[in-house]
Amino acid sequence: MATSHSPARIAVAEGIGTAVLLMGGVGTAVLAGEAMGTLGIALAFGLSLLVMAATIGHVSGCHINPAVTVGLYLARKIDTALLGWYLLGQVVGALVGAGIVWLVASGVDGFSSAGNFAANGYGELSPGGYGLVAVLVAEVAFTALFVLVVLATTRPTYPPSLGPLAAGLGLTLVHLATIPVSNTSVNPARSLAAAVFAGGDALAQLWVFILAPVVGGALAAVLWRLLGPRVDDDEVVTAG
């Protein structure tokens, strides 16, 4: 049988999870980035996902990322009626989480979020000076990799206790490779929230970090449909 969940509960769960992802990941980058470095920030994102997957996974599957939701939707793992609820929860949650980070960071005299809020970017906004094409390729490819991991670990036959660990480590790996390239998006909600508080060029370049992860999530769904097992009825999340 398909798994049935209340749309409102899913939206709330996704909101909480995405807020924690922003607080843990972006929060580490903004509040402790110099001390933690790339490894620490990558681990913060991965641990945030792992913890939330264990906490809200039974409610929503813990997508906390529009690219993951798009990938699972195209792979026929969630019902059309739930798509908007997932995205609403993720966007609102990301903005709330980023707002909490901003409030904490503002406790230091002279702090400004402008250009200093772990926003994603290319060219001058890329940590390594990578251009638009390189950033597009990285974001599409690494989002596809991450969403493939999620698709594989949400199978009914996959050990439930290992799913959060695999997803968390997968997200950590993606960040280790791509923080120097684009500050790592692979998540349009995360990018939107950071750009809102960073402002300026981060907002102007935001389209890249909405488009590329969504394309990557869709690519993962196509690959999964071609190479993966058939989706069983008990894998599909429906509105209840």
The per-residue pLDDT for range 2-53, each reduced to its tens digit, is 566 789 999 999 999 999 999 999 999 999 999 999 999 999 999 999 999 9
Tokens, residue 6: 């209340």
Beta-carbon count within 10 A of 42 CB? 24
Predicted local confidence at residue 91, as pLDDT: 98
Model pLDDT, residue 174:
98
Separation of alpha carbons 221 and 41, rounded Å: 28
87's CB contacts (< 8 A; 6+ apart) are 66, 69
pLDDT of residue 238: 65
Q: Is 39 helix (H, G, I), strand (E, B) or coil?
A: helix
pTM of the model: 0.93
Taking the C-alpha atoms of residue 173 and residue 132, their distance in angstroms, rounded to an integer, is 22
- Domains in the chain, CATH or no CATH each: 3-229+234-238 (1.20.1080.10)
Q: Roughly how many angstroms between the first and final C-alpha of the chain, as a whole number?
A: 13
> For a pLDDT cut of 70, what percent of the chain falls above it?
93
Q: What is the pLDDT of residues 125-158, one digit of tens each?
A: 999 999 999 999 999 999 999 999 999 988 877 7
Cα–Cα distance for residue pair 62/54, rounded to 1 Å: 8
**Residue 98 to residue 194: CA distance in whole angstroms:** 7
DSSP code at position 78: B
Angle between helices 132-153 and 163-182 (to 10 degrees): 180
- ∠ CA 192-46-53, nearest 5°, is 90
Q: At which residue do the structure tokens 């470095």 appear?
A: 37
Distance, in Å, from the CA atom of 222 to the CA atom of 131, rounded to the nearest integer, reads: 27
Closest CA to 74 of 145, 147, 140: 147
pLDDT (0 to 100) of residue 186: 98
Residue 225: per-residue pLDDT: 87
Give the whole-number percent of the chain exceeding pLDDT 90.
84
